[in-house]
Structure 1
Amino acid sequence: MTPAIDVARKNKVSFKVHEYSHDPASESYGGEAAEKLGVPQEQVFKTLVVSLDGKELAVGIIPVSSRLSLKLIAKALGAKKAAMATQSEVERATGYVLGGVSPLGQKKRLRTIIDASAICNSTVFISAGRRGVDMELDPEDLKTLVSGEFVNIT
């Protein structure tokens, strides 16, 4: 049980938990998840934390096959500049370790943007808050749970 799973259950959202054996030598957590779960990389989403104008942290949720556009996420959140948050900032704000950061159940609720490509899928896979554990849910439910919006940020 993780805080992410607790949030989905508490909000009575339909979801499935998928577990796989995480390889610590894996270079791409999301790529490993897609491969071991047997789903396209475009359906597996990673949770990235950015710093906006050096003042505020925010979250971008994008397919593991894509790269986050710092310009697009900054624009979507009304900031001049976005930069990737440091590992310590991410872990302190979310309560999760890198490779297991879920957009759900974070210590501190951060503003969240989900890449618009999510709505092309009937379900998406996100980290359930631990390496080797993913959740599959409807992208609209994800949007509701994180109070986010769909914007092209890749």
Structure 2
Amino acid sequence: MKNKFPSKTTTDVSEDEIDYCQKLIHAIENEGSISAFPKVKEQLNLLKETVADDSEHLKISADQDAAVGHKSADTSFFGYKTHIAMTEERIITAATITTGEKNDGKQLQTLIEKSKAAGIVVETSLETPLIRKKITSHTAKKTKLN
């Protein structure tokens, strides 16, 4: 059986590792006597999911401008953030797009300036505690602007 498995990769390149795993999956699936075992099937499914996830992440991470950001202390993402300003009627008056690692609060002034340039009279802004880096309260706070 060992001679039916693909040769292991000798590089540390992710694409080579994924290619090896895909060949390994194919070899195991084609060998019915092995893939019929529940423990093997379970591990094979886990490997398939991992390969699919890694393949997707490789496609996404090819974007040189994207960056890792954090939604919370435990949760991260790779990509971009969209920051928006809107009226009480929920009409979008300004938007900026930044890489994932940019601080949300630092975009507020830019959004206010863009809204004013669009003819909107800005009287208050709504800041969440996460933007203000205060996670003690989950209620939004209105702030008077000059």
Judge same fold: TM > 0.5, yes or no: no
* Structure ranking higher in strand proportion: 1
TM-score tier, shorter chain, comes to under 0.3
- Bigger radius of gyration: 2
Give the TM-score, by structure 1 length. Answer: 0.24
Higher relative contact order (CA 8 A, sep 6+): 1
* Structure ranking higher in helix proportion: 2
Give the TM-score, by structure 2 length. Answer: 0.25
